[in-house]
Amino acid sequence: MERHNLIDIVKGLSIASVVIGHSCWNLPYNGFAIGPFVYTYHIMTFMVVAGMCMNKKISGCKDTIIGQQISRQWILYMIYSCTVILFHNAFLRLGIISQEAYYGRRDIITRIFNAASYMTTESLLPALWFIPFYIVALLAFKLAVLYTKKVGLYVICALCGAAGLILCYKEVYLIYHIQTALLSIPIILIGYKARNIILDKDIYGGVISYVIIDVGLALGLCKIVEGFGCIDLAVNAIISPILFYPITLLGITFILILAKIIYRNRFLSKIVGLLGKYSFHIMALHIICFKCVDYVYCVFVIKDTSVLSDFPHSFYNWIVYLYWIVGMGIPVLFGKAIESIKKYEKNRYETRLNFSDNEYL
């Protein structure tokens, strides 16, 4: 399926929000509560994109697309999980992590097998909790689409959302964050049904009107977060069963409008779209990038490693902005490197195949 740059921009804004939310709760120097703000939408925006990417126009290809997506994500999940597991002892010796045991051979093998079933527990990969919940939600919605009629699909999605609200509000934790997967299914439905509206590139009323609307949404979200508290799906925090969906949809609308504004600028759309294209790599690696910044600053600049093992990062001053740059930039480079290796291997395989065929001509 052809990539749509507007989708990449939405994903780019979402993954940038994840990095920002994990790097600081309040912005350095001005104290703006950026963490609670981005937490209102950053995870569920990915679920809207998941619904949009279920291509309804190409018959017979849905299973292939979802299967390919899951297999690609599993391979990347294993690459990053196995790498961090194998380097766990090195991270301990460097002081990047602490208060954890050294891994023996049995520990390494056990954890690699656990990772193969999406159950990695590495402290440097905390954001990977998102992947199994994302896959469970995607598969559940796919089954609902396949085996229900039009009205039935809405009923099933509403029931799943209600079950997710109850489970999260009661602080019930299920394997693979199934409670969060249920919570996200109505959001996937919105992306699935409103795909054409969301992907409409036209800006009606001009860019200025969109900017004004988005600023209004941002101010409204700030007031809501200030008055009612913070959403944090990793720990089942949904504020309340009544307020979760309205607040989340407000945040998603803010991002979708911002994406359309950015789409009009060639330079910004290219940069943010690149973040979206390599969002998995950023999701997996940004915490490790934070700790690499901490290591360089502690060892080579201030020459004090007393706070090096603080998690998810050690500093809350101007270095926060460096976390953003490194936490998104380095994973993009990793993603591009992996992509280049895959293209090289594919070309080499095709060359060998063509050579073998010519031998029989």
Residue by residue, DSSP assigns 205-233 as: T-HHHHHHHHHHHHHHHHHHHHHH---BG
Mean pLDDT of all residues belonging to the chain: 90
- The tokens for 242 are 């009544």
User: Tell me: the pLDDT tens digits for 121-177?
Assistant: 999 999 999 999 999 999 999 999 988 888 999 999 999 999 999 999 999 999 999
Query: Is residue 219 exposed (0-12), middle (13-18) or buried (19+ Cβ within 10 Å)?
Result: exposed
At 259, give phi and psi (nearest 5°). -65, -40
Ramachandran sector of residue 313 (left: φ over 0; alpha: ψ -120 to 50; beta: rest): beta
CA atoms within 13 A on the CB side of 137: 31
* 79 pLDDT above the threshold of 80: yes
* 346 pLDDT above the threshold of 60: yes
CB 188 within 8 A of CB 137: yes
Ramachandran sector of residue 176 (left: φ over 0; alpha: ψ -120 to 50; beta: rest): left
* 233 pLDDT above the threshold of 50: yes
Residue (of 8, 4, 15) closest to 281 by Cα position = 15
CB 261 within 8 A of CB 206: no
* pTM higher than the cut 0.85: yes
At 232, give phi and psi (nearest 5°). -145, 95
Residue (of 210, 193, 194, 209) closest to 254 by Cα position = 210
For the segment 80-108, the average pLDDT, to the nearest whole number, is 94
In angstroms and rounded to an integer, the radius of gyration of the C-alpha atoms of the chain is 22
Q: What is the chain's length?
A: 361
**pLDDT value for 343:** 86
Q: Which residue has the tokens 């919605």?
A: 141
At 302, give phi and psi (nearest 5°). -90, -15
Angle, alpha carbons 83-85-90 (nearest 5°) = 90
Which range, of 2-11, 34-43, 62-71, averages the lowest pLDDT?
Answer: 62-71
Centre a 10 Å sphere on the Cβ of residue 341 and count the other Cβ atoms it contains.
10
For the segment 115-126, the average pLDDT, to the nearest whole number, is 94
Residue (of 321, 323, 331, 282) closest to 130 by Cα position = 282
- The tokens for 342 are 């895959």
Residues 278 and 263: their CA atoms lie apart, in Å, by 18
Bridge partner list, 251? none
User: Tell me: the pLDDT tens digits for 283-341?
Assistant: 999 999 999 999 999 999 999 999 999 999 999 999 999 999 999 999 999 999 988 98
- The tokens for 65 are 């697309």
